[in-house]
Amino acid sequence: MFTYKNVLNQLKEENNQVVTDYEEKVEGLTGKLEEEKFYHEYLSNIQSYMHYRVPFNFESQFDWALLAQLASASLSANTWLELESKKDRKPELYIEVNAKGRKVVRKISELWQFQISNLFTIFIKEWIELTIVAEEHLEEKKEIKQELIKNKEYWINNILKINTIKKIYNVIE
């Protein structure tokens, strides 16, 4: 299964500067997500959600709850759940990013394995980098936390909306 530890090992093998900077300026990375400062200070505040459509061939290869948590917490992407019809048992998870000046929207269920792996890496690196910035600049830390609160509220409301629609139409997973 592709996990946080896989991403961290990959970044370390590549001698990625973000890992070095984090370990010098924040703390050593343990390889256990729940123990990392960026997780317990930021990501753990976002509710994970794993009941969305994923690519059929990769159902057991990724930590889907973590991907939703990382994506919904991201300050560089917009993430939402959407039922495409009232009879859908699982919503689609959409991710929108700005790429070279244009918005790109993708459904997780339509991504290839390497694209999903890249999303994990991008989002984990983002939170490692944001934690470094927050450690160095108190004002930035406040802004990061404010944005995270907005993302959390949006995500919770989105989950509640999906659950309400499913309840109204008696859709069972």
User: What is the distance in angstroms between the CA of the first residue and the CA of the last residue of the chain?
Assistant: 23
Going from the C-alpha of 59 to that of each of 53, 64, 66, 136, the distances in angstroms are 9, 8, 13, 39
Q: Residue 42 corresponds to which tokens in the numbers above?
A: 């930021």
Q: Are 2 and 117 in contact (CB under 8 A)?
A: yes
pLDDT of residue 80: 95
Q: In what order do the strands lie in the sheet with 102-107?
A: 77-82, 92-99, 102-107
pLDDT of residue 89: 81
Q: Residue 171 corresponds to which tokens in the numbers above?
A: 């859709």
pLDDT of residue 164: 85
Going from the C-alpha of 28 to that of each of 31, 55, 171, the distances in angstroms are 9, 34, 45
pLDDT of residue 88: 75
- For every one of its 173 residues, what pLDDT tens digit does the chain have, with 9 covering 90 and above? 778 999 999 999 999 899 999 999 999 999 999 999 999 999 998 988 888 999 988 989 999 999 999 999 999 999 999 988 777 788 999 999 988 889 999 999 999 999 999 999 999 999 999 999 999 999 999 999 999 999 999 999 999 988 888 788 776 65
